[in-house]
Structure 1
């Protein structure tokens, strides 16, 4: 993997982040993206009988599925694990050399350390490759849910009791907390089902 290609993934991610910030900051753009997403998402809500907890659960499952698939086919997890294992072994050997006071071995390992650090950085940056595509699909869904927060009504949670989904729960609107919980839980299930590795 070339450094230019890896850097390109991060650059694309940063560009998407800037665009997202602009869209979120400008009310007209935010409403326009939400309305466009609504063309696809409104029928789902109607189909689910305007049950917002279930709607958010379904959307979390959809986003979890495509984000996991994108990561599966754009990130070389086996290579990432190999690099991580090699780095751990190197760090162990380096500590042993320091404790033994073996200056010749330390100098030799320091020459190798820089190359290994660059390789680890490249593998870390590789994780940015699917992020841009994930955000392109996820942000419209999030903005649509944000525009519908006032319509969601109340729901009962094990912690917090009955609360309006637009009201704060642990410093965030309850619907966002519900979305995050669903997304985290479902993503783990999906990743295990698809046998997607990780660090």
Structure 2
């Protein structure tokens, strides 16, 4: 019994396979991915972010050139510029972290509600051995262990759907690079 059963059970009942609600998990992962991408689009000034990233890249190139030349004056000049860019870099990091901090608690509440739902937490998707290697599950098995490696459980399916939908929504909203 989950505290989100009042929301999850109607979704599960609309799923074509309510005993193994993979489409319900896909729908929830898509909603969460859309929420995160919209929040990022709203909270992050991407023009400013790209400008700051370009400045930092230019600074790194100048630092590398100054170190290779061995000129102490050029190195001091680059280090001075680096100190001037430090507050901008901190601002960039804050800008990028704000959506993460805002979405963390709601996502955890939804995720733990999904784990508490018996139908969702016991989802099993059987895959072929070629899909096993295409989905890089041998690498994933480092993070979680299953009795049958040719299956994807609730967590694996949620992650796959979330990554795919997040990629799609980022493309739709024009947020191709981070």
When the two structures are superposed, what TM-score results if normalisation uses the length of structure 2? 0.78
Of 4, 15, 18, which aligns to 1:48? 15
CA change 1:126–1:104 in 2 (3 A) is same
Contact 1:56 1:179 in 2 (8 A): yes
Q: Which moved more, 1:146-155 or 1:93-102?
A: 146-155
Instruction: Tell me the secondary structure at the aligned position of residue 177 of structure 2.
Output: coil
> Distance in 2 between the 1:156 and 1:99 partners?
55
Aligned length: 159
The equivalences for 1:3-22 within 5 A come to none
> Distance in 2 between the 1:177 and 1:57 partners?
11
Question: What are structure 2's unaligned runs of at least 5 residues?
Answer: 133-139, 147-152
Q: Following TM superposition, by how much is the alpha carbon of 1:124 offset from its aligned partner in structure 2, in angstroms?
A: 1.5
Of 121, 128, 138, which aligns to 1:158? 128
Contact 2:21 2:119 in 1 (8 A): no
Of 87, 99, 120, which aligns to 2:68? 99
Give CA deviations for 1:85-136 in whole Å, capped at 9, x if unaligned.
1111111112212222222222122111112133213212222211233223
The equivalences for 1:22-171 within 5 A come to 34-35=2-3, 37-49=4-16, 50=18, 51-149=20-118, 152=122, 154-159=124-129, 170=141, 171=144
The answer as to 2:167 corresponding to 1:188 is yes
Q: Following TM superposition, by how much is the alpha carbon of 1:150 offset from its aligned partner in structure 2, in angstroms?
A: 6.1
RMSD: 2.4
Instruction: Tell me the secondary structure at the aligned position of residue 196 of structure 1.
Output: coil
Give CA deviations for 1:19-49 in whole Å, capped at 9, x if unaligned.
xxxxxxxxxxxx7xx41x3222221111214
Q: Following TM superposition, by how much is the alpha carbon of 1:72 offset from its aligned partner in structure 2, in angstroms?
A: 0.6
- Residue aligning to 2:150: none
Question: What are structure 1's unaligned runs of at least 5 residues?
Answer: 1-30, 162-168
Q: Following TM superposition, by how much is the alpha carbon of 1:197 offset from its aligned partner in structure 2, in angstroms?
A: 4.2
